A and B are shown apart, each in its own frame.
Chain A
Amino acid sequence: MALTIDVVKGDVHVTLVLNGDVDTKTAPDLLGHLTSLELHALEQLRLDLIEVDFVSSAGLRAIVFAKQKMPHSSRLYLIGPSSEIVETITKTGLAQAVVIVESEAEI
């Protein structure tokens, strides 16, 4: 399934609203969007995964890339990931690097 990404910029955060699958074919699109942000100066990055059904290791690598480029004090939120995506993130030890919330209202 194709991936569409909408970028919403706030005062101290950027939200990427993803719709589709983040797999080997589409993860480069996500990485491209992340690379275009000034990650080194970003306090908060929010990835809205409510409409995402699937994230492969290529998608996880894009998330790791973003977190590595962001300041140590920054926060990377994953909004509304499915239980299967949360399980993958937890299994790979990446849950320590992100904050998982059910909706943006929780932030």
Chain B
Amino acid sequence: MKDARTEREIGSIEAEASMDQWETFIDFATDHISRWVDDKSRNYKLRLAFEELVSNIIRAAGSDRQANSTSVVLEISALERIDNNTSWFVLRTSDNGAHFDPQFESRAPVDTAQHVNERAIGGLGLFLIMQSVDRVNYQWKGGRNVYELSTQLAADSSQPEQGSTG
């Protein structure tokens, strides 16, 4: 039997993937996260994962801009998904930048036991993304990088309030 899955979009925005739009992206996400994810720790972790992800996308877009003189557009959607009677809040990003597969499944973990003086500066962002949400997915779809950050909702957390779907 197939898994029962439904989803609906709560809201979405689209803007150039640049630091000029940082607040636009962050405000959209934090507004939706605060309305949908009640648990303080989960709320913080989802925001953390989202910021790390968008930061990476914007950095990559900057490289694209330098190399090809093209603008990268980033679309962000907030979704409610019901998957086998389990409710999820999902932040999906979709961008038309260069193909970049972070290989979440096979990525070597950061050596957290390594002394700080020997630490390389990179790699923390992707590590925090993987550690901070219940599910993280990447797909190269229709010429776009598509990421999903999913946090499981408590049983009574869906549809937080009337008129909050924008």
A interface with B by C-beta (< 8 Å): 23-25, 54, 56-58, 60-61, 64-65, 67-68, 72, 83-84, 87-88, 91-94, 96-97
- How many residues of B sit at the interface, in one of the four size bands? 20 to 34
User: Is A93 a contact partner of B113 (Cβ separation < 8 A)?
Assistant: yes
B41 within 8 A of A: yes
- CB-CB under 8 A from A61, the residues of chain B are 121, 124
- CB-CB under 8 A from A57, the residues of chain B are 52, 55, 124-125, 128
Closest partner residue, chain B, to A63 (CB atom): B116
User: Is B55 a contact partner of A24 (Cβ separation < 8 A)?
Assistant: yes
Given A64-B119, A92-B128, also A56-B52 (CB < 8 A): yes
Closest partner residue, chain B, to A60 (CB atom): B124
Q: How far is the CB of A54 from chain B (nearest CB, A)?
A: 7
Chain B contact residues, majority secondary structure: helix
Contact of B116 among A68, A83, A87, A91 (CB under 8 A): A68
User: Is A92 a contact partner of B115 (Cβ separation < 8 A)?
Assistant: no
Q: How far is the CB of B16 from chain A (nearest CB, A)?
A: 16
B162 within 8 A of A: no
User: Is A93 a contact partner of B19 (Cβ separation < 8 A)?
Assistant: no
In the bound assembly, the distance between CA atoms of A25 and B125 in angstroms comes to 14
User: Count of A-B contacts with CB under 8 A?
Assistant: 65
B127 within 8 A of A: yes
Given A60-B124, A84-B41, also A96-B116 (CB < 8 A): yes
- Which 9 pairs, one residue from A and one from B, show the smallest C-beta to C-beta distance? A93-B112, A97-B116, A57-B124, A84-B44, A24-B55, A57-B125, A56-B51, A25-B22, A67-B116
In the bound assembly, the distance between CA atoms of A96 and B131 in angstroms comes to 19
- CB-CB under 8 A from A97, the residues of chain B are 115-116
- CB-CB under 8 A from B113, the residues of chain A are 93
Within B28-66, the residues touching A (CB, 8 Å) are 40-41, 44-45, 47-48, 51-52, 54-55, 58
Q: How far is the CB of A78 from chain B (nearest CB, A)?
A: 13
User: Is B52 a contact partner of A84 (Cβ separation < 8 A)?
Assistant: no
